[in-house]
Amino acid sequence: MAVSESLSDTTRQVLGRSVFIPAWLILIGCILLAPLVESLSPRLRYLPFALSLLIFGLPHGAVDHLTPARTVNTPVTVRSMLSVGGLYLSIGGVYLGWWFFAPTSAAIMFVFITLLHWGQGDLYAILSFLDADHLPTRFERALSIVTRGAMPMLIPLIAHPMSYQRVLIGFIELFSVNTISIGFLFSSPIRNVVTAVIIGLTIMTIAAGAWRVYTGASARPYLIDAGEIGLLWAFFIALPPIFAVGVYFCIWHSLRHIARLAIIDHPSRQALDSAHIRPAVWRFVRDAAPLTAAALLFFASLYILVPRQPNNIESLAAFYLVGIAALTAPHVVIVSWMDRMQAVW
């Protein structure tokens, strides 16, 4: 079962040079420089998230108002854009309200929403950009989503539990002083279970893909898939969580989604087919600029509304991620719909 888009060899080569290889090199570089990163001041560790306000991270979801129409190759209309706006107001509004009334459960839900979303982003990239055929069934694709999503969201929990706990507490403290109830999540028994689960998922994913290659699937996409899983394991073990997740958000997840958006935009797709990346980049910047600006206004409004306004670098980062959480919930609905339309499932 292949995804609906059939990319030209030229487009795949362009995406390899501009999306995959740079991300691999940056992550490898970070791993090699891990001792230096560990010695950075807290402000510098948060730099990737600060940069994500304008570079890839926040803007990657700012084309959602154009995405449904482009996905099914129909004209973008006021009605189609208003439908997306309504989705953001309803789902995003409900989830944001959840933070005000039950921040602990909202924070835990954010972890699982992000795990799903980042996994689904990687799955599409494997199937479409790499033209992989070692994930033919829904079960194998679901396994890939959970395994890939667990890399950035759960490996830091087992490798850097205290740092992970501080981040979650930072979320909750914006809305409540009661953070005691999450302590059990970082106990040794829970971390041991999570470790066993992630190792089991990894082994199952690698073994299932190897079996598919043994029975005739293409080896190259599988080897890239397996290699990326190994790279992500090493990256999230070696680096401080807030730095590692910030780099991943910008350079890995967001960049792959931007490439996906270029494929469904006809002029951008034509440019990539001709090995010209600049027109596609320019169109993305143009399309994302209005709602990126609107998102910044949303953050300004949220800053006024949160019960305990952030006053240091850690609470500012927590505040930013709560805002990202509210924007992620409707974004996941859009991307899940894209998956359905593009025959990922």
The SS3 call for residue 63 is coil
Q: What is the pLDDT of residue 344?
A: 92
In tens, the pLDDT along 287-329 reads 999 999 999 999 999 999 999 888 888 999 999 999 999 999 9
Residues tagged in the binding site annotation for Fe cation = 60, 117, 253, 257
- Does 39 map to a domain? no
| Residue 143 to residue 296: CA distance in whole angstroms | 35
Structure tokens at 249: 């958000």
Q: What is the pLDDT of residue 299?
A: 95
Q: What is the pLDDT of residue 2?
A: 58
Q: What is the pLDDT of residue 53?
A: 87
- Does 204 map to a domain? yes
Q: What is the pLDDT of residue 180?
A: 64
- Does 197 map to a domain? yes
Q: What is the mean pLDDT of the chain?
A: 93
- Does 163 map to a domain? yes
> Which whole number is the average pLDDT over 127-150?
96
- Does 1 map to a domain? no
**What is the domain count for the chain?**
1
| Residue 258 to residue 19: CA distance in whole angstroms | 9
| Residue 27 to residue 24: CA distance in whole angstroms | 5
Residues tagged in the binding site annotation = 60, 117, 253, 257
Is the CB of residue 313 less than 8 Å from the CB of residue 43? yes
% of residues, the chain, pLDDT over 90: 85
Question: Computed over its alpha carbons, how large is the radius of gyration of the chain?
Answer: 20
Nearest to 306 by CA among 88, 100, 94, 50: 100
- Does 312 map to a domain? yes
In tens, the pLDDT along 222-245 reads 999 999 999 999 999 999 999 999
pLDDT of 221 above 60: yes
| Residue 147 to residue 230: CA distance in whole angstroms | 11
pLDDT of 46 above 70: yes
Q: 320: domain range?
A: 9-32+63-341
- Does 139 map to a domain? yes
pLDDT of 103 above 60: yes
Q: What is the pLDDT of residue 137?
A: 96
- Does 45 map to a domain? no
What are the percentages of helix, strand and coil residues in the chain, rounded to 5? 80, 0, 20
How many angstroms separate the Cα of 74 from the Cα of each of 4, 128, 209, 282, 323?
16, 21, 36, 21, 31
In tens, the pLDDT along 61-70 reads 999 999 999 9
